[in-house]
Structure 1
Amino acid sequence: MRREKTRGAYVIAAGGTGGHIFLGVALAREIRGRRPEAEILFVGSRHGLEAKLVSDAGFPLELVRASGFAGKSAAAKLVSLAELPVGFLQARRLLARRRAVAVAGLGGYVSVPVVAAARSLGVPTLIHESNAFPGVANRVLNRFATRTAVGIAAANSHLVRPGAVTGTPVRPEFFSVPRLDPSGSTRRLLVFGGSQGSRVLNKAMTEAVSLLGGDGLQVIHQAGESQFEETRARYGDRLPEGWRVVPFLPRIHEQLAWADLVLSRAGSQTLAELAAAGRPSILVPFGSATHGHQTVNAEVFDKAGASVAIAEDSLSGDVLALLLRELLGDRRRLVAMGESARSFARPDAAKLLADLLFEAEGTR
């Protein structure tokens, strides 16, 4: 890999959810691989997961005042609005002190004051939107960011200035998952609702077990740390042979390699992992997700033939059992769905993001 020289700091604004932070870490590692002497700094807020995840990844983190706006109560919105100028001024001082050469805003509310501060200082900016329907922050920032990247092309129809389609970076292990074997006869289901689990998916599975217990399925059901005991109790003594309930799956790429079909939520990071692994899925969007972005994500995959999307209020044990029998009984369809999912994968997503950041830097 060609190594390039630079001076000053690359600043990555990423916070709140794990998806934003993992994206930031992937970009930071790409920058470090290409410009090992470069200073890389994360900026987050005190409300999210960044304090733990950024530290675990080995990068420095500074905090500014910022909090979410969309989907909050009127009182919480007033607090968020009041914090914006404070966060902007904190970010402005920070960027000047660290001699920022370029700023990447990777979604979430902390991007707003940091990218706005960069604009006020003439520092080039890059924003990335991983969902098919952009959040409020990125719809605003897109109007003046130097460069915009999107994980899914459908996002561009909601942006004033369309971005480059880079995909969303995921760990290399997901791209090592072998394709589904068209001649395979296994019927393996992986269920996961994110690191915290999904009460909706857990309930549907514990209802469906009575109908599927004699079908010879193999199931790995990740219930989530906080919901594991409750879910295990719901199954009771009805858990069939070949079914396993676990609280968490730290190496989920291994379970994706094992699975023939996945039942999950429709967050952008989950979809990027399903695409990289080339796995067919049943997607149940989180109904309370801001602006329904998971619903739009699921619709994109459903329309492409990569998934079957089903709304929370339509999901029941009966409905799920019928759908699982239909899909797991049609190997040809599963293979085709897996290949459709793989069409969304971008193994070079981190490289493309870094290219755009360096390109933005060059406009100064």
Structure 2
Amino acid sequence: MEKHQASLLESSIALVITGGGTGGHVYPGIAVAKELQHQIPSASLLFIGTNAGFEAKIVPHEGFNLQTVDVEGFKSRGIVGKARALAKLPLAVLRARRLLKAVKPDVVFGTGGYVSLPVMYAAYLSRIPTVTLEPNRQPGMANKLIRRIVDRIAICFEETASAFPQRKVVFTGNPIRKEFSVIGKIPPPDKGMTCNILIMGGSRGASRINQALIDALPYLETQRDYLMFTHQTGPDDYEVVREGYARQGFRAEVLKYIDDTPKMYAKAHLVICRAGASTVAELRASRRPSILIPYPHGDRHQEFNAQALVDKGLAKMILQEYLDGKVLADSLLHCLNNPDAMAQVWANTNEASEKTAAEQVVDLCLQLAGKRSLSPV
């Protein structure tokens, strides 16, 4: 009888998810939405983002409803740009309140980014319970501004806890696709006669990483027959990179974009990539050794993300200001010549709890909605 009543209660859950701009703020929300659908198929879900952000394309593609507010970011803007962004906030809050009034959500979940600011504030004014996710080790501006008005703050790095009110903080990790956790629970692929290197620079690629890898190939001649590269270049550098591998005689699968990232992680022995929040979470969940090259601009949050993995012995880091072909080749050769260090990453116990990050965030949302017993923080 109790289970039946609980099922009836949970079936009425309505969740609004807000955040966007980049994949790091969009994909965690999608992971949570899919997990909630898995647990409660009748759950009502709505995303709130902008017309200009990454979410405008990805959220509808994933089959979810997206409503938008007109808001702009503050970073890297002059006085005029910041003034215009500030002027838009009141209307964005008003628009968000109207959307929330129409949907009547039990909880609002924010994934960070500038669009989450007016929506989370509107939820606070409407007295709707809120959970915000801080995906980076160094907290972003939006979450710093709303830290005192939200009910729970889900963090992805233990070191982030000191930046927020302790009574609100819950360590969940970053919600990502379940496939990455599955990869981390199976033995690594047998290297045999080939070591698979995966290179990624984000959905648009990273020209500096692309060029450094091609410049590194002459220093890797002794390993030519041992290495197999899978390289996501982005659309702009595709031909140059493909020709670079061919010219140097290295085996490589060169792709403009990788659709099935978990599949590529599963066969990779080493990953060379940026250090965005989602990428770092995927590396940790799948237990892949990596060479991280943080995106150098903005508030250095990728550098802080990368340092967290370096401190745990899970990765090496090259700052982009020092990146060139020889430095990258030396770092790659160091990994190849120290197989015990790479093997240790495989051997490390998976840091995640028995529940995935998405499951833990869903639990928080259901607790705040009164659908499950509220556990102490």
Pairwise same-fold verdict (TM > 0.5): yes
Aligned to 2:234: 224
What is the CA RMSD across the aligned residues, in angstroms?
2.2
Q: 1:28 and 2:36 equivalent?
A: no
SS of corresponding position for 1:80: helix
Alignment of 1:189-338 (within 5 A): 189-215=197-223, 216=225, 217-233=227-243, 235=244, 237-288=246-297, 290-338=298-346
2: CA distance, partners of 1:144 / 1:96 = 19
Is 1:156 the counterpart of 2:199? The answer is no
C-alpha change, 1:155 and 1:341, in structure 2 (3 Å) is: farther
Match of 2:179 in 1: 173
Deviation, 1:333, is: 0.9
Q: Describe the SS at the equivalent of 2:187.
A: coil
Aligned partner of 2:280: which letter?
L
Letter in 2 for 1:244: E
Percent identity between the aligned chains?
34
TM-fit CA distance, 1:166: 0.6
- CA gap 1:184/1:346 in 2 versus in 1, 3 angstroms: farther
**Partners in 1 of 2:76 and 2:179 — Cα distance?**
35
In structure 2, relative to structure 1, the CA distance for the partners of 1:156 and 1:50 (3 Å cut) is same
| Letter of the structure 1 residue corresponding to residue 266 of structure 2 | A
Does structure 1 conserve the Cα–Cα contact (< 8 Å) formed by 2:292 and 2:306? yes
Cα distance in 2 for partners of 1:257, 1:36 equals 29
Does the aligned pair in 2 maintain the 1:8–1:98 contact within 8 Å? Answer: no
**Does residue 1:352 correspond to 2:360, yes or no?**
yes
**2-side partners of 1:345 and 1:316: how far apart?**
38
Q: Report the CA distance shift for 1:236/1:173 in structure 2 as closer, same or farther (over 3 A).
A: closer
Q: Deviations over 1:207-241 (max 9, x none)?
A: 111111331322111111232123335x1742324
Cα distance in 1, alignment partners of residues 354 and 196 from structure 2: 26
Q: Is the alpha carbon distance of 1:346 and 1:75 closer, same or farther for their aligned partners in structure 2, counting shifts above 3 Å?
A: farther
5+ residue gaps, structure 1? none
The TM-score normalised by the length of structure 1 is: 0.92
Check conservation: 1:280, 1:306, Cα contact below 8 A. yes
The yes-or-no answer on 1:9 pairing with 2:14 is yes
Matched AA of 1:107: G
Deviation by residue 1:280-325 (Cα, 9 ceiling, x = unmatched): 000010001x311000000000010000011001111111111111
| TM-score, normalised via structure 2 length | 0.89
Would you say the 8 A contact 2:189–2:267 is kept in 1?
no
Structure 1 contact 275–345 (Cα < 8 Å) conserved: no
- Is the Cα contact below 8 Å between 1:179 and 1:278 reproduced in 2? no
Residue matched to 1:126 = 131
Contact 1:306/1:341, CA 8 A, preserved across alignment:
no
Q: Could you report, residue by residue, the CA deviation over 1:125-149 in whole angstroms, capped at 9, with x for unpaired residues?
A: 1100111111000111111101110
Who is 1:343 aligned against? 351
From the superposition, tell whether residues 172 and 315 of structure 1 become closer, same or farther in structure 2 (CA, over 3 Å).
Answer: same
The C-alpha deviation readout for 1:21-50, integer Å capped at 9, x for no partner, is: 111111112222333323211101112021
Q: Which blocks of at least 5 consecutive residues in structure 2 are unaligned?
A: none
Query: Are 2:201 and 2:233, in contact at CA under 8 Å, matched by a contact in 1?
Result: yes
Counting matched residue pairs gives 361
Q: CA deviation at 1:342?
A: 4.1
Is residue 62 of structure 1 aligned with residue 67 of structure 2? yes
